[in-house]
Amino acid sequence: MRSPCVGSREVTRMENQSSGTAVEYESETSHLPWKWLERRAARAFVLGGVLLVASALVPIGLASVTEWSWASGLVLVGSSVVAIGVGLLGTFPQARDQAPWLARVGALCATVAGVAAVGLIGLVGTAVTAAVTLDAALPKPMGVFQVLALAMASGLALGFVSFGVARVRTGSSSDTPGRLLVAGGVVLLVPVLGELLRMGIGIGPPPWVVFGALGVLALDSLAVGHSFRTASLPPL
């Protein structure tokens, strides 16, 4: 018959091992950015929406001051996409637990959009620097911009839909953030598909569709950020 002391020592040893494993796991995961992104998701969506609105207004205000006003619009659009991409990645921890594959697809799409946005900002910065340094007319890299814009819009649209469906499918049917994400992604897919049609067969929607979709995306991002503040994400 085993003595109670022996059993107590074994239990203590197992608890110490479990505690050590938990500490090791916490140490390993503490270097991951997911918690940092999750805490800032709501703020990132709001910032992205504000920057997207500014991207339409600031160039108009600068048009009478400088011929480079369009560059400010592109930088603000790129910054908006980066912010919204951060917000999408901040929803990854919850979505990963609910729908792993959709979460991975959403994270990949958000990353693609963010990388394209950083490339756009760098391209504009290079063009402006070259124009100032060489004292030449500032070129408008419209061809490259169209490719980057398509990558940004596609990434955001699919990211919105993926993370939104992950929330709606496994959560409550009245989940406000999830429904807003799906709605914003679907609206943004309209100009994306239109641009693909234009590139393929030369026929696409009128320009106002793009501006309308961006306006809806700006409002949707603001609404998503607000809804996350009152939903299941940790308080900021």
Q: What is the DSSP letter of 232?
A: S
Q: State both tokens at 7.
A: 């059993």
- The Cα–Cα gap between 229 and 226 comes to 5
Q: Would you state the structure tokens that stand for residue 192, as one six-digit string?
A: 């994306």
Contact 112, 151 (CB under 8 A): yes
Task: Evaluate if residue 140 carries a pLDDT over 80.
Answer: no
HSE (side-chain half, CA atoms, 13 Å) at 217: 33
The closest alpha carbon to 172, from 221, 224, 226, 232, belongs to 232
Between residues 233 and 202, which one has the greater pLDDT? Answer: 202
Q: What does the pLDDT look like over 169-194, one tens digit per residue?
A: 776 556 788 899 999 999 999 999 98
Q: What is the pLDDT of residue 5?
A: 47
Put simply, whether the predicted model's pTM sits higher than 0.85 gets the answer: no
